[in-house]
Structure 1
């Protein structure tokens, strides 16, 4: 194992790592399936919605706006083009409600970031809608704890390599922390960085992946407050 002194940068995911996110998508999805209960079962609507989201990622990207458009598309499909205008209005309203929802930071976030910021450069690397991510960062009160904030359209190995390179840091000196194995952990490990997985109670189906247990730079902790102890043990 490398000693802690080899680390200079710790990067963090935002949604469901620093603040709640998927919880609000699930609540909205429940409202959505209820709106279409006269046309299809909840399970069927959920299945069609997930298929629409997967289809639309390359066009709309991640976030509330793309999710809202996928709900509208699903409603049109499930009702065979007969969706009432009132239902479309309600879908748009629930989307706006998500964009106005107060930010709820997860336990021990502020304390952990404050402690680590005295010894490491902190970078936020988050994907999603630019305006919404900027809104959540501002409302969270965490912005001043980060040296750099990067809002990207996708988290791929080349994206991590570019970000770390821009800030004059070699990948092996960086650690990525997040709740998604697919987006936060596996791409970072692939370029030689450390990666810490913090599972969230709710994980979007399109973010599921197998844990890379064989990689010596992979670690998993139950909550963010345990991150400093892990780092100091490396």
Structure 2
């Protein structure tokens, strides 16, 4: 266990609370509803993933961009825009993200409370600001953190900016999250250390191979295991 005080920056979606599983359920419902006559479930998911990737570049992250991708995919597959008859179904897809309910992953409160007795905790989440703020408010976790940062994307430059603004020592700063690409690789490129907490429903766009020889990365099976290292 590290005895010197560390700076622990936590990811939010799929690290502290469930998120991508909601998107996955909507995608399954969407594809079943489409009942496309020739394309398989897998083929439609691949087309939707390509459309999502393009929309992320142009419009960023968040449920509204995702819903836009569903509509764009519908237009692509059906060769017509979403009509009045389909609007009610799209409203149902949107409702999955506005219920206000949030499912924390494991005993998050206890883990954060314990770690806060020895270390300084921060939160860094990416996406649409208002949407992420609603999740943070619903979680009841904001007061556990010395700083909360909502960013459009997680790049090495963004990590360096956050670390500089908070006057953190990179050698004692750890990014903790489930996304190899944005939580681990980007943080390591910025000179931070990182803790990888795998999640079975991590978004496919965030998948990436981690360097098994990098001693600046620690992998744990669950958030509760953080107590063994910090």
Please indicate the TM-score interval, normalised by the length of the shorter structure: over 0.9
SS of residue in 1 equivalent to 2:79 = coil
**After the TM superposition, which residues 83-162 of structure 1 pair with which residues of structure 2 at under 5 Å, given as runs?**
83-162=82-161
2:28 to 22, 27, 30: 30
- Give the whole-Å Cα distance in 2 for the aligned partners of 1:133 and 1:117: 23
**After the TM superposition, which residues 9-24 of structure 1 pair with which residues of structure 2 at under 5 Å, given as runs?**
9-24=7-22
- Give the whole-Å Cα distance in 2 for the aligned partners of 1:82 and 1:25: 22
TM superposition shift of 1:83: 4.6
- Give the whole-Å Cα distance in 1 for the aligned partners of 2:126 and 2:98: 15
CA deviation string 1:17-52 (max 9, x = no partner) = 000001100000011101211444322221111111
- Give the whole-Å Cα distance in 1 for the aligned partners of 2:32 and 2:101: 24
Cα pair distance change 1:65/1:48, threshold 3 Å: same
Q: Counterpart in 2 of 1:171?
A: 170
2:8–2:119 CA contact under 8 A, matched in 1: yes
Q: Counterpart in 1 of 2:80?
A: 81
TM-score between the two structures when normalised by the length of structure 2: 0.94
Q: Counterpart in 1 of 2:217?
A: 218
Q: Counterpart in 1 of 2:183?
A: 184
- Give the whole-Å Cα distance in 2 for the aligned partners of 1:3 and 1:140: 28
Structure 2: tracts of 5 or more residues without a match: none
SS of residue in 2 equivalent to 1:100 = coil
SS of residue in 2 equivalent to 1:151 = strand
Consecutive aligned runs of 4 or more in structure 1 exceeding 4 Å deviation:
none
Cα pair distance change 1:145/1:92, threshold 3 Å: same
- Give the whole-Å Cα distance in 1 for the aligned partners of 2:22 and 2:200: 13
- Give the whole-Å Cα distance in 2 for the aligned partners of 1:101 and 1:50: 26
- Give the whole-Å Cα distance in 1 for the aligned partners of 2:208 and 2:174: 19
- Give the whole-Å Cα distance in 1 for the aligned partners of 2:140 and 2:186: 28
- Give the whole-Å Cα distance in 2 for the aligned partners of 1:106 and 1:186: 23
- Give the whole-Å Cα distance in 2 for the aligned partners of 1:95 and 1:4: 46
1:155–1:187 CA contact under 8 A, matched in 2: yes
Match status 1:67 vs 2:77? no
- Give the whole-Å Cα distance in 2 for the aligned partners of 1:203 and 1:18: 13
TM superposition shift of 1:84: 4.1
